[in-house]
Amino acid sequence: MFLGVELNIARWLGHAAVYIELSKTKLIIDPYLSRNPLCPVKPEDLGDVDAILVTHSHEDHIGDAVEISVRTHAPIVGTYDVVKGLEEKNVVRTIGMNIGGSTRIGNLDVIIVPAIHTGNASGFIIKGENFSIYHAGDTFLFSDMKLLAELYKPDLAFLPIGGYYTMGLAEAAKAALFIKPRIVVPIHYNTFKEIQQDPYKFVDYVHKEDPFIKVLTPEPGERINLDQLL
């Protein structure tokens, strides 16, 4: 199902898992796949990836990262505290940076940005030649999202909306206003009973803040054609 003609695509794979093919580079973020019944793909369905990005070490984010890395020999990228020790689990290479750090993966710049959560949490900015993506990880709303907007001008933002472990609908809508991407995709909802949420209510909340931000509510696994969004 990953054979396609578009050059640049994204797929939300349920929870916070996002697969991206951008500028001929393939990334999987927060691959909580095999233990999520709502995820439509198995880790091996991903094929080869150039890197595995992990926003923090909670189980619902690190997920199948080690297994995918061992199979593909792709590095695991995250904060130092997230990736340390993974080499002992046969991960060939880790890229342990910290907030503000960046690395080049294929044709992309991957930048670690803050998130407000427990432990070692972060978000990611992924910058291709003509397209910039923000994956917020698990976080509450914070006003420095305006700085992320100014610095990295994300075209597409993946924002948690589930509440309980992260911000909920109203705060995530305010985050969309701060980040001003052209497209927002809600994530981190409906996986567990504590985070049941109606994504269409999120659409209403965002449009109350800014009617020009487009909100996509894909099914897990659905292809988002980034070339059509440019």
Residues that bind Mn ion (CB under 5 A): 60, 138
Which residues within the stretch 102-141 sit at the binding site for Ni ion (CB under 5 A)?
138
Query: Residue 138 CB, nearest distance to Mn ion (Å)?
Result: 4
> For residues 67 and 138, which CB has a smaller minimum distance to Ni ion in the complex?
138
Please choose which of Ni ion, Mn ion, none residue 135 contacts, taking the beta carbon within 5 to 8 angstroms, the exact cut-off set by kind. Answer: none
Query: Residue 17 CB, nearest distance to Mn ion (Å)?
Result: 11
> For residues 50 and 138, which CB has a smaller minimum distance to Mn ion in the complex?
138
Scanning 52-60, 172-180, 204-212, 222-230 for contacts with Ni ion by CB under 5 A, the matching segment is: 52-60
Q: Give the Cα separation of 42 and 28 in Å (integer).
A: 12
Burial state string for 172-197 with b = 16 or more CB within 10 A and e = fewer than 16: bbbbbbbbbbebbbbbbbbbeeebeb
Residues whose CB falls within 8 Å of the CB of residue 216, separated by 6 or more in sequence, listed in order: 183, 184, 185, 224
DSSP letter for 207, please.
H
SS3 174: helix
Q: Give the Cα separation of 11 and 197 in Å (integer).
A: 20
Please choose which of Ni ion, Mn ion, none residue 30 contacts, taking the beta carbon within 5 to 8 angstroms, the exact cut-off set by kind. Answer: none
Q: Which residue bears the tokens 């909802």? A: 189
Interaction between residue 30 and Ni ion (CB under 5 A): no
- Which tokens in the block code for residue 80? 């130092």
Given candidates 11, 15, 26, 58, which one binds Ni ion under the rule CB under 5 A? 58
> For residues 26 and 58, which CB has a smaller minimum distance to Ni ion in the complex?
58
Please choose which of Ni ion, Mn ion, none residue 67 contacts, taking the beta carbon within 5 to 8 angstroms, the exact cut-off set by kind. Answer: none
The number of C-alpha atoms within 13 Å of 69 and in the hemisphere containing its C-beta is: 26
> For residues 128 and 163, which CB has a smaller minimum distance to Ni ion in the complex?
163
Query: Residue 188 CB, nearest distance to Mn ion (Å)?
Result: 6
Q: Is 199 exposed, middle or buried (CB count within 10 Å of its CB: 0-12, 13-18, 19+)?
A: middle
The H or E element containing residue 76 is strand 76-79
Interaction between residue 188 and Ni ion (CB under 5 A): no
Query: Residue 117 CB, nearest distance to Ni ion (Å)?
Result: 6
Binding mask 61-100 for Ni ion (x = CB under 5 A): ----------------------------------------
What residue ranges bind Ni ion (CB under 5 A)? 58, 138
